[in-house]
Amino acid sequence: MERPDPARLKACVAPDYYLLAPAGADAVMAAHAAQDVLLLSIPPEAFYRRGLVGNPGCPLSPLRGRVLVDPVVTGLVEQLAQSSSPEDQALNASVLDTLLLTLVRIARTRAREATRGGLTARQLGVVREHVEARLDRPIRNADLAALTGLSPFHFARSFKESMGMPPAGWIRLRRLTVAQRLLVQPERSITDVAAAVGYDSPSRFARAFRDATGVSPSQFRRAQA
């Protein structure tokens, strides 16, 4: 796989996500609102000096240019940012050691996953949880990819290997499966059900529902009464 050109690296990073940029990459940031951005420069030899790797090279190649989310990494970086006094020097060293070790472990896990193909149970679990919590709104493939630490292209391919269908098809199936459960609740209108599973109009929902089940939402509801 061709490595990303450090001078042309581009990514969309949401709050609590992070991007590992290769050495020499230009950092150009744009935000839609005021935000705090933490930048941490890690010399590649830092891993070798701490005995985390057997050679002076950077062990984070599997993570380069990827947008990732990991609460442990986020918490450690925030600790480093908040501990700036001389009295915190020993604490900072310990936190940095833990951060580097965590990044090495994540990189090694990603490298193993890349050779195995498909998504791991953990990755699938994260994707399922994200989708189930957001069925009432648009769900971007790029956001799902970021949750797994993969590029959108590799995420889509790995997801299909694991689930037997593309992400968009699986999300549509989840929306319509939940819609069937909601339709048996007589107090909920079809318009309400459509909105609850992410359709901005009852007509679009009805077409998708009929395509998937062979009947309209109204016919399905009457059959369940």
Residues 4 and 103 in one domain: yes
How many domains does the chain contain in total?
2
Query: The domain spanning residue 200 has which CATH number?
Result: 1.10.10.60
Residues 86 and 25 in one domain: yes
Domain that holds residue 204: 167-224
Cα angle 183, 128, 123; round to 5: 170
**Is residue 42 situated within a structural domain?**
yes
Residues 1 and 69 in one domain: yes
Mean pLDDT of the chain: 81
Tell the residue number behind the tokens 């501990």, with chain if given: 83
| Contact predicate 124/108, CB 8 Å | no
User: What are the Cα distances from residue 199, in Å, to 61, 131, 141, 172?
Assistant: 40, 15, 17, 10
Residues in a beta bridge with 17: 69
Residues 6 and 98 in one domain: yes
Q: What is the pLDDT of residues 98-152, one digit of tens each?
A: 888 888 888 887 777 666 678 888 899 999 999 999 999 999 999 999 999 888 9
Q: What percent of the chain is predicted at pLDDT more than 90?
A: 30
Residues 41 and 106 in one domain: yes
Domain boundary (92, 116, 140) is at: 116
> Which pLDDT does position 175 carry in this prediction?
94
**Is residue 131 situated within a structural domain?**
no
| Contact predicate 3/64, CB 8 Å | yes
Structure tokens at 57: 């090279």
The residue that leads in pLDDT, 40 or 90, is: 40
The beta-strand segments (E) located in the chain are 17-19, 67-69
Residues 100 and 203 in one domain: no
Helix-strand-coil percent breakdown of the chain, rounded to 5?
60, 5, 40
Distance CA 63, CA 78 (A): 20
Q: Which long-range contacts (CB under 8 A, 24 or more apart) does 32-41 make?
A: 38/77, 38/78, 38/81, 40/77, 40/80
The residue that leads in pLDDT, 200 or 40, is: 200
Residues 28 and 112 in one domain: yes
**Is residue 45 situated within a structural domain?**
yes
Q: What is the pLDDT of residues 184-212, one digit of tens each?
A: 999 999 999 999 999 999 999 999 999 88
